[in-house]
């Protein structure tokens, strides 16, 4: 199968929903650069907390990192909560995967803040294993090419 074209891909959902598991399976199949929000925060964004303003800035920075990778001709996968319409707008246009496998995450403040997206390209449900979802996503992106 031919690799899909360079794309900006957002894998979003509540903490503990399976975003990182899916992202780590998907990124190598797309030969994509993977940006995990926790790792980016720990290494590049120590100045940000978890207020809504900081979450919006975090999303903007994650989106910019992905845009840089896509401009260089590669796919970029961002794995993070992206909890509100404002954070999703700050991240920018992307192929959006909503990992909707749990009703509540492990952080109560995030649960209160989180708004399920109104628009997404694929909703990952509890049905099916992460590897199956990764293969389905690769096939979807390949068809778009």
For 77-114, the pLDDT digits (tens) are 999 999 999 999 999 999 999 999 999 989 898 889 99
With 0.75 as the threshold, say if the pTM is over it. Answer: yes
98 touches 124 (CB < 8 A): yes
Model confidence over 9-43: pLDDT tens digits? 999 999 999 999 999 999 999 999 999 988 888 88
Q: Map 58-118 to HEC letters.
A: HHHHHHHHHHHHHHCCCCEEEECCCCCHHHHHHHCCCEEEEECCCCCCCCHHHHHHCCCCC
Provide the residue ranges of all domains of the chain, joining segments of one domain with +: 8-144
Strand partners of residue 95: 9
The CATH H-level (homologous superfamily) assignment of domain 8-144 is: P-loop containing nucleotide triphosphate hydrolases (3.40.50.300)
């Amino acid at each position: 199968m031919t690799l899909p074209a360079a794309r900006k891909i957002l894998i979003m959902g509540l903490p503990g929903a399976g975003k990182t598991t899916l992202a780590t399976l998907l990124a190598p199949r797309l030969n994509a650069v993977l940006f995990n929000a926790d790792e980016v925060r720990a290494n590049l964004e120590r100045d940000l907390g978890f207020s809504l303003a900081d979450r919006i800035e975090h999303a903007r920075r994650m989106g910019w990192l992905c845009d840089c990778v896509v401009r260089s001709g590669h796919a970029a996968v961002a794995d993070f909560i992206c909890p509100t319409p404002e954070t999703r707008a700050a991240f920018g246009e992307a192929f959006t995967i909503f990992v909707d496998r749990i009703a509540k995450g492990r952080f109560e403040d995030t649960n209160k803040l989180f708004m399920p997206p109104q628009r997404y390209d694929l909703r990952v449900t509890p049905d099916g294993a992460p590897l199956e979802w990764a293969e389905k996503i690769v096939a979807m992106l390949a068809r778009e090419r």
